[in-house]
Amino acid sequence: MTITLRLSDEQARRLRAHAAARGQSVEEYLLRLAEQASLSDEEWEVLTDELTELIPNTVPSLPDEALRRETMYRE
């Protein structure tokens, strides 16, 4: 499938920068984004499990209180 995108100069600049930061061409970068966007729920679960395994055991877990709305949005 061929898709044509109309991007502003700024959007194109940011797209090129994101691709370059990952050592990819714009086409490779967009193909990877499309692959990620089309993952099934099972594939996402496998991917997040794999990413979780990359976190060293020395990284402390957040306490439950840190994830409570009241803690995040103190007035």
| 50 vs 57: CA distance, rounded Å | 14
Residue 74 has pLDDT above 80, yes or no: no
In a domain, 30, yes or no: yes
In a domain, 37, yes or no: yes
The pLDDT, as a whole number, for residue 66 is 84
Tens digit of pLDDT for each residue in 18-56? 999 999 999 999 998 888 888 898 988 888 888 888 888
Residue 75 has pLDDT above 70, yes or no: no
Name the pLDDT band for 2 (thresholds 50, 70, 90): confident
| 13 vs 11: CA distance, rounded Å | 5
Residue 32: give the domain boundaries: 1-50
CB-based contact 19:25 (threshold 8 Å): yes
Number of domains within the chain: 1
| Whether pTM exceeds 0.75 | no
| 53 vs 47: CA distance, rounded Å | 10
Query: How far, CA to CA in Å, does 42 sit from each of 11, 17, 49, 52?
Result: 32, 31, 11, 15
In a domain, 74, yes or no: no
